[in-house]
Structure 1
C-alpha cells in the first residue's frame, strides 16, 4: 500500500466519516453538508475509494453473516467506519515467514505489539483484522479448533470473519470473549477488562462468573475485581480509532493518559494535583495543539521541552 500524506490521511478519515453518516438515521439532515464537501474533486475521489473498499468488504461479510440479532441503527454507521479504518490500515499480513513472528515461538503463535505513540493494524490469516492501540501487546494462536487472541495489555478493535467451526476467542485480564462474525473492542487493564460491542454478538465470561453474558450492539461490559456489569456504551466510544474522544467532566489526568497513547508530542503535568481538573468537550487526541487548547480551557501555562515533551503547569501571576 502506498503511504499517504498527512493531508491524505485526514481526507480518508473524513471520507470514512461521511460514508458512515450518509448511511445513518440522520443522513437527510447531513445531505447538504455532504454535497458541499463532495464538490471538492479530491474529496470525491477519497469517497469513491471508501465505497470501493466497503463494497468489497460488504459482499464478503454478507456471505459469512451468521444468524442472530441485527445491529442497531445507531451503531451500524459506526461499525462501518470501524471496519473501513481497519481495512485501510491493515497492511501487515500475518502469514508464515512474517517479520513479526518471534524467532523462538512455534509457527502457530504470533506476538504483536505497538509502541506507545502508534496504532498498528494487521490482517489475520482467516480474514479477520485487529487494530492495536498505542502501548498494546497481544498474541495470536490459531489451531484447527479455535482462533485464540490473548490481549496482554492495551486496547484493540477486532473485525472478525465468521467461521462456525472455529470460534474466535479473546482472553484479557481474566475475561473470555467469544465472537461470532462481529466488530468489538477489548481493553485489558491492571484490575480487569472492558468489552464494547459495535456489531454482531459476543459472549463474555468474567472471572468467577457463573455463566457468560451476551452483549447487544451499543453495550459494554466492565469486568473488574471479580464482578461484571453490562452498561450502555459511552457516547462516540466507537471513534477512538479516529483519535477522537468525547469527554464529560473527565479528569485531566485520564485525558492526558489517553492522549499520550496517540502519535505526537507527549503531554505531562507539572503538578499531579492538576490531574483532578475536569474537562468536557470533543477532542482529537492526535491534534498537535491539544495541549494549547487544554491550557486555554483550564487557564494553564504550556512549557515545551526538548524531546517533544509538552508540560502543562499552573500560571505564574
Structure 2
C-alpha cells in the first residue's frame, strides 16, 4: 500500500478514536491536553479530525431522522464509560465510527447537500476536507466534493471560507458567473444578484468569469488585504487596511462595525439581518454619518442610540421603523 495512503488511514483511525472517546466520556483535563497535543502534531491530524467531526455530526442527524428506535441504543452505547471498554470492543467501536463517518461522508458529498440560514442567523459548518465555512444571514449554498474536486455553489447571500490546503484539489466557489479559486486560504464571498464581492483575509485567490479564459480577462489574483467587487466583466480591486478587512468580516461575530458610514448604507446593512425593516423617509437622514459597533439583530437598541445622537425621530409600525428628521 502507498505510504501516503497508509498515513492517511492512520490519521483517520486516530481521528475516529478521538471522536468516539469524546462522545463516550468521561472527558478529563488530561484527555483534553492529550487531544490538543495530537492535533498540534500535524496538519494531517487536524484535517482528519475535522473531516470526521463533520461526518460524525451528519451521522447524528441521520440517526435522528431514522427515529427513536435506532437513536436510543446509540445513546445508551455513548453513556458507557470509555475506560471500561475492552480492547476488542474499542477496536470494533472505532471501526464502527469509521464506517458510520464514511457513510456520512458520502452523504455530505451528495450533490443535494445544501446549507442555508434564515434572516439574522449565522451557521458554521465543518467540511469533510477539513475546511470550514460560516454562512451569513439569509444565505444558501451547495457543497460538492469528491476525490478530485472541491466546489461550493453560493446561491445567495454571503459566506466566509477557511480552506484546508490541498494543491491537488483547488477549492472553487461559484457565485453566479464568477469563480473564486483557492488552495489554502481564508476569504469571504458575498453575492447580490449578479454582483459579487470577495474579501481576502489570508493567502491568495483568483477571480474568474465562467466560460472565459483567465488570460483573456486577466483574472485578478487577490492577496490578503485585497477586496474585489465585480459587475458584469468589470472587476474593481482595492487594497484595504487590516482594520477595514476586520470591519468587513465583523459579521462573523454577529456584529456590524461602521466608521463614518452614510446612514443609507447602515440602514441597508441592518435590513439584511432583520425581518423588521428600517425605512428612511427623509434625505437629510440618509446623509448622516455613523460610527460604532452594533449587534446586527438588536435593531431597537440601534434606533434608540440614533435618536439620542442625531436629530432623528423614529416611528414604529407593524413591520418597519420609519426614520425622519426631527423637527
Deviations 1:169-219 (A, max 9, x none): 001122111111111100111232111111112121146562332111111
Displacement, 1:110? 0.9
TM-score normalized by the length of structure 1:
0.63
1:290/1:193 CA distance change after superposition, 3 Å: same
**What residue in structure 2 maps to residue 217 of structure 1?**
224
1:106/1:162 CA distance change after superposition, 3 Å: closer
- Tell which deviates more after alignment, 132-141 or 249-258: 249-258
1:294 counterpart = 2:306: yes
Structure 2: stretches of 5+ with no match in the other structure:
1-32, 47-53, 66-103
Displacement, 1:243? 3.3
1:91/1:269 CA distance change after superposition, 3 Å: farther
1:245 counterpart = 2:256: yes
Alpha-carbon distance in structure 2 between the residues aligned to 1:61 and 1:274: 57
Deviations 1:141-162 (A, max 9, x none): 1122111001111111011111
Deviations 1:122-167 (A, max 9, x none): 1112121111111111111112211100111111101111122222
1:60/1:238 CA distance change after superposition, 3 Å: farther
Deviations 1:36-67 (A, max 9, x none): xxxxxxxxxxxxxxxx9xx77983785699xx
- Within the candidate set 40, 65, 68, 1:59 is matched to 40
Alpha-carbon distance in structure 2 between the residues aligned to 1:193 and 1:260: 19
**What residue in structure 2 maps to residue 233 of structure 1?**
240
Q: What does 1:150-189 correspond to in 2, within 5 Å?
A: 150-189=153-192
Q: Is the 8 A contact 1:253 1:274 kept in 2?
A: no
**What residue in structure 2 maps to residue 81 of structure 1?**
none
Structure 1: stretches of 5+ with no match in the other structure:
1-51, 66-89
Structure number with higher helix proportion: 2
Q: Is the 8 A contact 1:119 1:133 kept in 2?
A: yes
- Within the candidate set 123, 127, 136, 1:124 is matched to 127
1:270/1:217 CA distance change after superposition, 3 Å: closer
1:197 counterpart = 2:209: no
Q: Is the 8 A contact 1:136 1:154 kept in 2?
A: yes
1:282 counterpart = 2:282: no
Alpha-carbon distance in structure 2 between the residues aligned to 1:177 and 1:278: 35
SS for the counterpart of 1:155 is strand
When Rg is computed on C-alpha atoms for both structures, the one with the higher figure is 2
Displacement, 1:295? 2.6
SS for the counterpart of 2:164 is coil
Q: Number of paired residues?
A: 237
Deviations 1:221-266 (A, max 9, x none): 111121112201361323221233343443323212212333x673
Alpha-carbon distance in structure 2 between the residues aligned to 1:305 and 1:60: 57
Q: Is the 8 A contact 2:109 2:146 kept in 1?
A: no
1:231/1:64 CA distance change after superposition, 3 Å: farther
Q: What is the root-mean-square deviation in Å for CA atoms of aligned residues?
A: 3.7
Alpha-carbon distance in structure 2 between the residues aligned to 1:296 and 1:139: 44
Alpha-carbon distance in structure 2 between the residues aligned to 1:192 and 1:254: 17
Alpha-carbon distance in structure 2 between the residues aligned to 1:179 and 1:57: 27
Alpha-carbon distance in structure 2 between the residues aligned to 1:222 and 1:268: 26
TM-score normalized by the length of structure 2:
0.61
1:186/1:91 CA distance change after superposition, 3 Å: farther
